[in-house]
Structure 1
């Protein structure tokens, strides 16, 4: 489910939507970034919590810092995911996440 990544520490040449996306009573806050080719990602933080995210499009969740446990819709087991790892979620699905420590992430859509 998870894979290690070698990701850059920053996203270059993007536009940032100034208004924050605030979910789950402030437990998850993100900003949308838009690339010159029109692709969109969100960059955010999830504070200590247990949450369920529903997906419309397929997503790749890149964990930049922190530690969490993740369970995909079709899985019975939780998997630990930490900084430098990512996991993929199909479209029209969901995943459960339990943050063990505050998690900074980049969500890649599509």
Structure 2
């Protein structure tokens, strides 16, 4: 797994959600694909999706519940999970979670 992104445009203004518990930055690649790179502090947060997303856990430990699933699944650094378009997921950060969200 790569530890950096090269040749990207980074938005200067942070996206701040959930009273500062989630902070991310928008990345745009030369082919116009988009990702966000951020951190979620220990908390439970809920995200709605419009496009398919892949959440890549760079560091930290979390649990996620996708859509209407009853069960939570655990994720550690180096793992990822997929969320369908027009859905939602809950993420419980058990410690600070650094992530990359891949769209589309």
Q: Which residue of 1 aligns with 2:47?
A: 53
Aligned residues: 104
Cα distance in 1 for partners of 2:17, 2:51 equals: 18
In the TM superposition, what are the counterparts of 1:1-110 in structure 2 within 5 Å? 7-110=1-104
Give the alignment's TM-score, normalised by structure 1: 0.93
Report the RMSD for the aligned CA atoms in angstroms: 0.6
| Gapped regions of structure 2 (runs ≥ 5) | none
> TM-score w.r.t. structure 2 length?
0.98
> What is the match of residue 3 of structure 1?
none
In the TM superposition, residue 74 of structure 1 has moved relative to its aligned partner by 3.2
Helix, strand or coil: the match of 1:92? coil
Deviations 1:5-53 (A, max 9, x none): xx20001110100000000110000000100010110000000101111
Moved over 6 A (4+): none
